[in-house]
Amino acid sequence: MEKKLQITGRDNQIICQALKIAIPIMQSHSLSSSNLLDMKRIFEHLSSNTYIDFPDIKVKEFVEQNSINLDQSPTSAL
């Protein structure tokens, strides 16, 4: 497998933060279960053994309030 280029040195952290925000939105507003499951798999792979933190408290509160267990998501039934 080809080695991925790191642009900022924090690429994995930024990608994981973006996915952690996007996954709850997708769970609530999308019927595309295949994309949601792929996003979840990417997040789990990139964030393994890494704590993903949000320096902005408003973003952190949004993520905490909107995180839904994937098994309880309406798209998981598709």
Q: Return per-residue pLDDT of the chain as tens, 78 residues.
A: 566 788 898 888 889 889 988 888 888 887 778 888 999 999 889 888 777 777 788 888 877 787 654 445 554 444
pTM value is 0.67
Classify burial at 46, counting beta carbons within 10 Å of its beta carbon; exposed 0-12, middle 13-18, buried 19 or more. Answer: middle
Cα of 55 vs its chain's centroid, Å: 16
CA neighbor of 65 nearest in space, from 21, 17, 18? 21
Mean confidence (pLDDT) of the chain = 78
The alpha carbon of 59 is separated from its chain's Cα centroid by a whole number of angstroms, namely: 13
